Amino acid sequence: MHRKSISNASLWMKGNTILETNLIETEDTSIANEWINILSFPTKEGHRTETTLVNHYLSHQTAEDIFTIDIAEDYKIEEHIKISSGTHLFHCLDNFGIIHYHSSTFEDDKLNALSIKKLNVVFKHFKNSIIASLNQLKLEKEIAISKEKTREIDMISKFALQNPYPVMRFDGDGELIFGNDASQFILPHFEELKWAYATMFKKTLALNEMKVYEQVIHNKHYAFTVRPIQQYNYVNVYGMDISSRKIVEQKLKDEKEKAERLANIKMEFLSTMSHEIRTPMNSIIGSINLLFDSHLNDYQHKKLNMMQFAADNLLRLINEILDFNKLEANKVNLEKIRFSLTETLENVFAMHIDNAEKKNITFELELEKIPVEYVVGDPTRLSQILLNLISNAIKFTDKGGVKVNVQSTFKNDYSIVYEFKVIDTGIGISKEKINNIFQAFTQEDTSTTRRFGGTGLGLSISKKLVNLLEGSLDVESEIGKGTSFIAKIPYQISPNQEKEEKKKRRQVNIDPQQDLRNVDVLLVDDNEFNVLIATEFLSRWHANIITARNGQEAIDQLKSNNESIKIILMDLQMPVMDGFEATEMIRSFEKDYYKNLPIIALTADVTSDDIHGIENKGFNDFASKPFDPEKLLKKLLQYI
């Protein structure tokens, strides 16, 4: 066959043959069943996958290994695969390769059957040469693998022999191949659990992923690393005695638990002490409120105001210390409920109007940009943050006023960020102190504490709460001109933006002469001082007072008074049966009287977790102790 009669030629090899012989450097096992173009003439382009083309040619194969195809006109079998016209000669090399010659001459007599017959002996010798070459390549690959394996074994052996820690090698069935001296102590363990380790090793080899685990063997802690050598079907296991580390870890764990216990003891102590201090404080403030309703001269009225200021200040300090310790002990639980932002802001604003009016300063609420009213978050913590910031602003402002500005700074389909800015025209904060203003027990200077009072915990509490809400709290200030606190808090947007119709309370215009005449009030409290103060006010309002010392006595009184009781004042923390349990039991009774009977919770700590969602726990409302007589009377009249 003359070279001039050949337009082009190709050599195709089966992928699995290529992988077995390293004919091409590749680790792509997906080519195993593909036909790969190894050589091309005259283009010299190779290493292309041409399975579709080769299979098309093979579909015309006769029973012989050497056959021809005559094609009169060009055609395509796929958009990018063209079959050229002319004469095509194929020599099949068993199942591993194909040689292809192409002449552009249709029915070329130089590639006819006679020519093929003459070339048959040549092709046979050529085929045998190729097979010999491939076998040589296979042998060379096996030798290379063997050398690599030997080198790797030598390396691991040297490493293992010199290693003071256990080094072992196992096959996929858990059979030991090698173990150094340091491993002899633990090898019986691997032999005993051979079935379990065989499963682990097979899985590790299949995934070709290292596995790290810890195991106690003969009262010693070991850390093991299983490294699969997939091509040789074995795993190397490296061990390390970590008993000393475990002892240290256990000591650290014990110390951590000890610290947590001490923190809990501290928290319980503060909670108990705050409750014990609040109880007489409530009585003192209640007594002061009772004295205000008596006939006083100017001197007595002045001294009583001083007593009330001191008592209120002490109670506020107790609450701040308790809040701070809850935050320090990570005992604050956050709610994620749907709430109205504008309604929450208006309620917070309303709570400070009287304080601003008493100081004769302006107080404004600006809602500039509120694109979403209903959000998902913790309204109680937002209120607590704003109450602290606004209280501080009013406290430190004698001239001018305080402004609360709220706007959105970011919004997408699912979330929104609101900026709450509290601006005052008060005394301001110096540049030297502004960086420390959020530290606990810190105020601008000691004269501030003497002049305005306080613990210096309010801003620290606000900062920690904002951080818990994944927001930020910053401050801008200038001495003599005022201060701005800027809180940015992210919220989820509630899918439901429809305004809910809340159950309206009966609006009552309280007449000075209006009272609780002929109204049976059940007062439930275990503290004699609290009962004494509450009874004094209820008596002044001409209520019929029925008392109970715990929840069980309250239920007994309800049953024995034949539905005459119109409202209940229920303390939350009591012996025998607390207020929560008693209220839940009352609401479980079948009669509508028990389900609709107004129950107002009495609590000394309005920031506690117990008050969150109080209306969902069976109560209609709550009143804080010590209670403001006018506010309590108004609340009672709203429900009866």
Residue 218 in contact with residue 186, Cβ under 8 Å?
A: yes
Residue 228 in contact with residue 209, Cβ under 8 Å?
A: yes
Of 288 and 424, the one with more pLDDT: 424
Residue 565 in contact with residue 592, Cβ under 8 Å?
A: no
What's the confidence (pLDDT) of residue 606?
54
CA dist 145 → 270, 409, 482, 523 (Å):
73, 65, 80, 91
CA dist 629 → 288, 297, 353, 506, 632 (Å):
11, 21, 19, 19, 5
Q: What is the mean pLDDT of residues 490-498?
A: 90
H or E segment at 207?
helix 194-207
Of 412 and 515, the one with more pLDDT: 412
Q: Strands (DSSP E) along 230-301, which ranges?
A: 234-241
Question: Per-residue pLDDT tens for 247-261?
Answer: 999 999 999 999 888
Q: Which of 5-14, 43-52, 200-209 has the lowest mean pLDDT?
A: 43-52
Q: Is the confidence at residue 509, as pLDDT, over 60? A: no
The Cα–Cα gap between 476 and 431 comes to 9
Q: Which DSSP letter does residue 74 get?
A: -
Question: Per-residue pLDDT tens for 258-314?
Answer: 988 887 777 777 666 766 777 777 778 878 888 887 788 888 888 887 787 677 767
Confidence grade of residue 44 (pLDDT, cut at 50, 70, 90): low
What's the confidence (pLDDT) of residue 125?
72
| Three-point CA angle 621, 624, 629, nearest 5° | 95
CB atoms within 10 A of CB 342: 13
Strongest mean pLDDT among 114-123, 493-502, 603-612 = 493-502
Q: Which of 100-109, 159-168, 220-229 has the lowest mean pLDDT?
A: 159-168
Helix or strand or coil: residue 238? strand
Q: Which residue has the tokens 């007994």?
A: 556
What's the confidence (pLDDT) of residue 330?
67
Q: Write the DSSP string, 244-285.
A: HHHHHHHHHHHHHHHHHHHHHHHHHHHHHHHHHHHHHHHHHH
The Cα–Cα gap between 54 and 609 comes to 77
Q: Which of 102-111, 153-162, 569-578 has the lowest mean pLDDT?
A: 153-162
Q: Is the confidence at residue 492, as pLDDT, over 90? A: yes
Of 152 and 450, the one with more pLDDT: 152
**CA-closest candidate to residue 68, choices 5, 126, 135:** 5
Question: Per-residue pLDDT tens for 106-124?
Answer: 888 877 766 666 666 666 7
Burial class (CB in 10 A: 0-12, 13-18, 19+), 432: exposed
What's the confidence (pLDDT) of residue 328?
67
Q: Which two tokens stand for residue 479?
A: 């001495």
Residue type at position 213: Y
Q: Which two tokens stand for residue 110?
A: 């130089």
Residue 349 in contact with residue 385, Cβ under 8 Å?
A: no
Question: Per-residue pLDDT tens for 128-143?
Answer: 777 777 777 777 777 7
Please state whether 47 falls in left (phi above 0), alpha (psi between -120 and 50) or beta. Answer: left
Q: Which two tokens stand for residue 178?
A: 């090698």
Per the prediction, the chain carries an average pLDDT of 82
Of 224 and 352, the one with more pLDDT: 224
Claim: this prediction has a pTM higher than 0.85: no
Q: What is the mean pLDDT of residues 156-171?
A: 76
The Cα–Cα gap between 547 and 39 comes to 105
The Cα–Cα gap between 600 and 636 comes to 9
